[in-house]
């Protein structure tokens, strides 16, 4: 697994990446950095995760160093076995410069050990108050009775926690901070809890560290030098400072970027899960979702996401992620490679009067004639899209010839009208895609707004998994190609 993930740091993928701005330098980073991406396995990754992943990745590549993928799986309620695999697939897709993977569920004993030390340093105490009671005391800046226990008493309680003598909700470990702190969020926050059920899929614990503790211990032990994360963690950064101070450790440098919403999609895992359960979405890769799986299926390349994220940068302003900007990045990556094909939506079959058999040669890519062409054999009958011919007297069948349109009650009679390109230009007649009657494959174009049935060239079936351009329609990813036809997911114009 690691081998599959470990990229060559010295030779990052050469390649066309749309030029993107340079991010501000990091403090004290010239000698290299150690950074981390720390998702929790509660579901697949989405664009919000991609921001954290790529921002950190950017600086690791820029300064060199290590990039730790840390799986934060210390909440058994939010961890499901199958999510680990989903997560690793997504990490793979992102193409991060990850150098090592750490699972917090493998490190429970380490957290227990350091908790004991923190208690010995009088930096933490075991609290058996009810959560509600503590909360009201905290808001009044008052200490709870447990706060005055001595080290021996606290260690005794801690041992009883570990040996299973407490049940869920009865006890917690708190950091001794400053009860008079003006920010109530800072006052004696919790760092351990007990969870009786469900069992953790990867370890046998019932005493679990809370994020603010495991993160500090891990960041220190793993030698993390810089942390870039969302500003929703800004209070956590301040809380964690107390723990660093007790241990006498030097905290990493922090950068907190602003909140990012995404036009038209929900990012919350629980909301997505609910939508899937209610069949509003087909699954994690439903094109209406902002998951990486969904955008990958639509033909968005990871490089486009990376570029869009780096452009957004580390600003603390709340922003709204715009699909337009992502599409522009993706188009820049995809256009030079994507082969061109004809797709006729809502096709109607028409006879063309007055034209002899001939074969059209349409380039696979207009800017790269050397890649060859597709041959479309005209034998008298063709499919076109009514929207393309309706209302026009003259139309150019691309790479073939001109036709005059006679429209009668929704049906079209086509009549050969010469080969002159100049003529259609002068007449400002449209140049449209078409397909020969004899060689077509059914094709379903799946757009977020709905599915569009149509026909496409048989050669499209050979592009499965790739992004192609349906001329005059847009860029699509060929999702599947079988006996029942082709299924294409629409990416963008």
Partner RNA sequence: GCUGCUAUAGUGUAGGGGCCAAUCAUGUCGGCCUUUCACGCCGACGACUGGGGUUCAAAUCCCCAUAGCAGCACCA
> Counting contacts by CB under 7 A, is residue 57 touching RNA?
no
Contacts of 217 (CB under 8 A, 6+ apart): 107, 110, 111, 114, 209
- For the chain, the residue count is 493
Which residues, 336 to 395, sit near RNA by CB under 7 A? 336, 340, 365-367, 388
List the one residue out of 450, 452, 446 whose CA is nearest residue 479: 446
Q: Which CB, 43 or 485, lies closer to RNA?
A: 43
Residue appearing with tokens 């026009």: 392
- Which of 206, 331, 446, 477 touches RNA by CB under 7 A? 331
Tell me if 445 sits within 8 A of 490, measured CB to CB. Answer: yes
Cβ at position 291, least distance to RNA in Å: 17
Whole-angstrom distance, CA of residue 476 vs CA of residue 490:
4
Cβ at position 391, least distance to RNA in Å: 12
Q: Which stretch binds RNA (CB under 7 A): 60-68, 109-117, 142-150, 328-336?
A: 328-336
**From residue 274 to residue 313, what is the string marking binding to RNA with x (rule CB under 7 A)?**
-------------------------------------xxx
CA distance to 12, 124, 193, per residue, from 36 (Å): 18, 27, 25
Angle at which helices 302-312 and 81-94 cross, to 10°: 80
Cβ at position 253, least distance to RNA in Å: 16
> Counting contacts by CB under 7 A, is residue 40 touching RNA?
yes
> Counting contacts by CB under 7 A, is residue 315 touching RNA?
yes
* Dihedral angle sign, alpha carbons of residues 94, 95, 97, 100: positive
Q: Which stretch binds RNA (CB under 7 A): 2-10, 59-67, 185-193, 278-286?
A: 185-193
> Counting contacts by CB under 7 A, is residue 317 touching RNA?
yes
Cβ at position 78, least distance to RNA in Å: 5
Can you tell me whether residue 2 is helix, strand or coil? helix
> Counting contacts by CB under 7 A, is residue 134 touching RNA?
yes
> Counting contacts by CB under 7 A, is residue 169 touching RNA?
yes
Cβ at position 233, least distance to RNA in Å: 6
Eight-state DSSP code of residue 429 = -
**In what helix (H) or strand (E) does residue 342 lie, and over which residues does it extend?**
none
Q: Which stretch binds RNA (CB under 7 A): 197-205, 350-358, 410-418, 464-472?
A: 464-472
Cβ at position 60, least distance to RNA in Å: 19
Q: Which stretch binds RNA (CB under 7 A): 91-99, 117-125, 253-261, 351-359?
A: 253-261
> Counting contacts by CB under 7 A, is residue 453 touching RNA?
no
Alpha-carbon 157 to chain mean position: 43
> Counting contacts by CB under 7 A, is residue 183 touching RNA?
yes
Whole-angstrom distance, CA of residue 175 vs CA of residue 138:
13
Q: Which CB, 282 or 382, lies closer to RNA?
A: 382
- Which of 327, 341, 489, 490 touches RNA by CB under 7 A? 327
Whole-angstrom distance, CA of residue 457 vs CA of residue 373:
12
**What is the 3 state secondary structure string of 296-319?**
HHCCCCHHHHHHHHHHHCCCCCCE
List the one residue out of 244, 293, 232, 245 whose CA is nearest residue 83: 293
Residues binding RNA: number (CB under 7 A): 83
Q: Which CB, 470 or 489, lies closer to RNA?
A: 470
- Which of 259, 351, 371, 406 touches RNA by CB under 7 A? 259
Which residues, 229 to 248, sit near RNA by CB under 7 A? 231-236
List the one residue out of 94, 90, 99, 78 whose CA is nearest residue 6: 99
Q: Which CB, 252 or 313, lies closer to RNA?
A: 313
Cβ at position 244, least distance to RNA in Å: 17
Residue 340: strand pairing partners: 469
- Which of 6, 102, 110, 210 touches RNA by CB under 7 A? 210
Cβ at position 181, least distance to RNA in Å: 8
Whole-angstrom distance, CA of residue 6 vs CA of residue 256:
27
Whole-angstrom distance, CA of residue 65 vs CA of residue 74:
27
Cβ at position 482, least distance to RNA in Å: 26
Tell me if 305 sits within 8 A of 290, measured CB to CB. Answer: no
- Which of 289, 469, 489, 491 touches RNA by CB under 7 A? 469
Q: Which CB, 173 or 296, lies closer to RNA?
A: 173
Residue appearing with tokens 């082709």: 486
Q: Which stretch binds RNA (CB under 7 A): 9-17, 284-292, 331-339, 409-417?
A: 331-339
CA angle 472, 476, 480 (to 5 degrees): 130
- Which of 151, 271, 377, 421 touches RNA by CB under 7 A? 421
> Counting contacts by CB under 7 A, is residue 113 touching RNA?
no
Whole-angstrom distance, CA of residue 305 vs CA of residue 48:
11
Alpha-carbon 374 to chain mean position: 35
């Amino acid at each position: 697994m690691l081998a599959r993930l470990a990229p060559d740091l010295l030779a990052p993928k050469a390649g066309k990446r749309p030029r993107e701005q340079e991010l501000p330098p990091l403090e004290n980073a010239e000698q290299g950095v150690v950074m981390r991406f720390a998702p929790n396995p509660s579901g697949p990754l989405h664009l919000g995760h991609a921001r954290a992943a790529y921002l950190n990745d950017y600086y690791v590549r820029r300064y060199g160093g290590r990039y730790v993928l840390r799986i934060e799986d210390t909440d058994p309620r939010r961890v499901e076995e199958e999510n680990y695999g989903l997560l690793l697939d997504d990490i793979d897709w992102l193409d991060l410069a990850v150098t090592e993977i750490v699972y917090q569920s493998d490190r429970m004993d380490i957290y227990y050990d350091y908790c004991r030390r923190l208690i010995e340093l009088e930096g933490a105490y075991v609290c058996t108050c009810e959560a509600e009671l503590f909360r009201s005391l905290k808001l009044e800046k008052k200490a709870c009775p447990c706060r005055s226990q001595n080290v021996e008493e606290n260690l005794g309680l801690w041992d009883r926690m570990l040996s299973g003598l407490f049940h869920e909700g009865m006890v917690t470990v708190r950091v001794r901070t400053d009860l008079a702190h003006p920010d109530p969020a800072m006052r004696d926050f919790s760092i351990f809890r007990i969870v009786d059920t469900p069992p953790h899929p990867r370890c046998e614990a019932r005493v679990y560290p809370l994020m603010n503790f495991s993160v500090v211990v891990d960041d220190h032990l793993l030698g993390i030098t810089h942390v870039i994360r969302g500003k929703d963690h800004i209070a956590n950064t301040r809380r964690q400072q107390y723990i660093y101070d007790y241990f006498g450790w030097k905290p990493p440098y922090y950068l907190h970027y602003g909140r990012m919403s995404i036009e038209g999609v929900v990012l919350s895992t629980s909301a997505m899960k609910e939508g899937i359960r209610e069949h509003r979405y087909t699954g994690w890769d439903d094109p209406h979702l902002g998951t990486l799986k969904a955008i990958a299926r639509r033909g968005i390349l990871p490089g486009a996401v990376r570029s869009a994220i780096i452009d957004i940068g580390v600003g603390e302003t709340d922003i709204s992620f715009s699909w337009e900007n992502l599409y522009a990045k993706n188009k820049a990556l995809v256009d030079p490679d994507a082969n061109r094909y004809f797709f006729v939506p809502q096709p109607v079959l028409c006879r063309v009067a007055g034209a002899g058999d001939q074969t059209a040669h349409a380039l696979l890519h207009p800017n790269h004639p050397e890649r060859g062409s597709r041959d479309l054999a005209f034998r008298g009958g063709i499919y076109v899209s009514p929207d393309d011919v309706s209302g026009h007297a003259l139309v150019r069948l691309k790479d073939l010839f001109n036709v005059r349109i006679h429209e009668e009650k929704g049906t079209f009679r086509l009549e050969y009208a010469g080969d002159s390109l100049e003529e259609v230009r002068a007449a400002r007649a449209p140049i449209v895609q078409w397909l020969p009657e004899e060689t077509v494959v059914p094709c379903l174009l799946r757009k977020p707004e709905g599915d569009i049935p149509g026909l496409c060239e048989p050669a499209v079936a050979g592009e499965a998994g790739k992004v192609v351009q349906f001329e005059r329609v847009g860029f699509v990813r060929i999702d599947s190609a079988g006996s029942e036809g082709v299924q294409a997911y629409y990416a963008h114009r």
